[in-house]
């Protein structure tokens, strides 16, 4: 079986910045409350004419440049998103067209905030098989469009952005050496948009105004995340035949600084072993891990020989991790 790794990374966030002070003008909240509870100070908001596919294209272009590849070199695009351009068809197909990938398959997956770590595992299994040499894995979200801007419990938490990676064959022993994914559908209502699907169409008699927006049970998410994050890291390391002592860096989903601190403590690791940027971007859902990885790489926090674990958790409930040998 081929060794598959990341040969190019890209990340893009829209230029429009929204601070905690900006949110204070719209809902009853405070900078102190948001910072203490979440660690967030700012987030980026896409302008009205920009779609999820547009953010993805910018991140993908960077990843292609980093890999020294052209659009026509890509054989497959996998998009992780829970805020697609349209309910159907696939936003990955829209990205394929906008990028100019002329001989390429494309599809979406939805594991909400855990989407990109799922997509990375899926993409790694294609590379090296017949017809798949280079796979583009992208997470892209515009959560600002699916939030209720009057719900202070959720609206201040999220930002928009995209991150992408090009997967290809690498030297033996390098690359993605294991992944571990898990789901618990009994918790599907913990994080959801209740309406808009076939269960409750917008024009149905049982549609209630507000059900078209993102809903989250914050306490249930906390209880889930502080266990799911360390579990995913430990289980993925077990599959790789590695121990927590071997880990050089953990790149977690940027959901909440307190979740990350608690998870790292449960892993027995200090915060110097992780990278966070949620103070700048908020929670960018399925895009948060690749954006953070790109920044960590640029800051010199990932070097040749390092063992890095990417971990994420979110709606579904879904969670998982990838172990990557650089």
DSSP string, 98-131: HHT-SS-EEEEE--GGGHHHHHHHHHHHHTTSTT
Same domain, 141 and 217: no
Q: What is the pLDDT of residues 63-94, one digit of tens each?
A: 999 999 999 999 999 999 999 999 999 999 99
Does residue 70 sit in the same domain as residue 145?
yes
The whole-angstrom separation of Cα 315 and Cα 146 is 14
Choice among 134, 256, 283, 322 that is catalytic: 283
pLDDT (mean) for 161-165: 98
**One domain for residues 229 and 150:** no
Does 96 share its domain with 187?
no
Of 173, 196, 224, the one marking the end of a domain is 173
pLDDT at 2 over 90: no
113 is catalytic: yes
What mean pLDDT comes out for the span 249-255? 98
Helix H or strand E encompassing 191: strand 191-192
Whether the predicted pLDDT of 1 surpasses 90: no
Count of alpha carbons within 13 angstroms of residue 201, beta-carbon side: 4
pLDDT tens per residue, range 174-204: 999 999 999 999 999 999 999 999 999 999 9
**In whole angstroms, what separates CA 233 from the centre of its chain?**
16
**Domain finish residue from 173, 204, 225:** 173
Which whole number is the average pLDDT over 98-102? 96
184 and 241 co-located in one domain: yes
Q: Is the pLDDT of residue 284 over 90?
A: yes
Q: How many CA atoms lie within 13 A of 35 on its CB side?
A: 10
Q: Could you say which of 140, 173, 206 is where a domain stops?
A: 173
The Cα–Cα gap between 324 and 179 comes to 9
Number of structural domains, the chain? Answer: 2
List 51, 60, 101, 113, catalytic entry: 113
92 and 240 share a domain?
no
User: What is the mean predicted confidence (pLDDT) over 142-150?
Assistant: 96
Which of residues 23 and 1 earns the better pLDDT score?
A: 23
Could you tell me if 157 and 257 lie in one domain? no
| C-alpha to C-alpha distance for 44 and 320, rounded to whole angstroms | 26
**Could you tell me the residue range of the domain that residue 253 belongs to?**
177-325
pLDDT at res. 162: 98
Nearest CA to 109 among 71, 140, 132, 72?
Answer: 140
Is position 258 annotated as part of the catalytic site? Answer: no
210 in the same domain as 273 = yes
Per the annotation, the verdict on 283 as an active-site residue is: yes
Name the catalytic one among 118, 253, 256, 322. 253
Query: What's the CATH code of the domain at 45?
Result: 3.40.47.10
Contact 156, 40 (CB under 8 A): yes
pLDDT band at 173 (very low <50, low <70, confident <90, very high): very high
């Amino acid at each position: 079986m081929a060794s598959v790794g990341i040969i190019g990374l890209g990340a893009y966030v829209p230029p429009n910045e929204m601070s905690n002070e900006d949110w204070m003008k719209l809902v009853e909240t405070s900078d102190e409350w948001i910072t203490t509870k979440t660690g967030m100070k700012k987030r980026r908001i896409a302008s009205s004419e920009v779609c999820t596919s547009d953010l993805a294209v910018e991140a993908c272009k960077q990843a292609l440049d980093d890999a020294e590849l052209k659009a026509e070199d890509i054989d497959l695009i996998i998009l992780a998103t829970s805020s697609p351009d349209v309910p159907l068809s696939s936003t990955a197909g829209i990205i394929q067209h906008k990028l100019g990938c002329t001989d390429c398959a494309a599809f979406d997956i939805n594991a909400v905030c855990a989407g990109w770590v799922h997509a990375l595992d899926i993409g790694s299994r294609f590379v090296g098989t017949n017809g798949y040499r280079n796979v583009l894995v992208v997470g892209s979200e515009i959560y600002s469009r699916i939030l209720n801007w009057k719900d202070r419990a959720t609206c201040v938490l999220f930002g928009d952005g995209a991150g992408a990676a090009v997967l290809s064959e690498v030297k033996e022993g390098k690359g993605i050496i294991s992944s571990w994914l898990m789901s618990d559908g009994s918790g599907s209502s913990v994080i959801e948009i209740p309406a808009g699907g076939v269960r409750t169409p917008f024009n149905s008699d049982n549609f209630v105004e507000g059900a078209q927006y993102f809903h989250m049970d914050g306490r249930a998410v906390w209880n889930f995340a502080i266990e799911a994050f360390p579990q995913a890291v430990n289980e993925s390391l077990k599959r790789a035949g590695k121990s927590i002592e071997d880990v050089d860096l953990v790149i977690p989903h940027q959901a909440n600084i307190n979740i990350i601190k608690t998870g790292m403590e449960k892993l027995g690791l200090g915060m110097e072993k992780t990278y966070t940027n949620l103070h700048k971007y908020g929670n960018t859902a399925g895009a948060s891990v690749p954006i953070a990885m790109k920044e960590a790489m640029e800051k010199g926090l990932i070097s040749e020989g390092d063992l890095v674990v990417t971990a994420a958790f979110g709606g579904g409930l879904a969670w998982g991790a990838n172990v990557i040998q650089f």
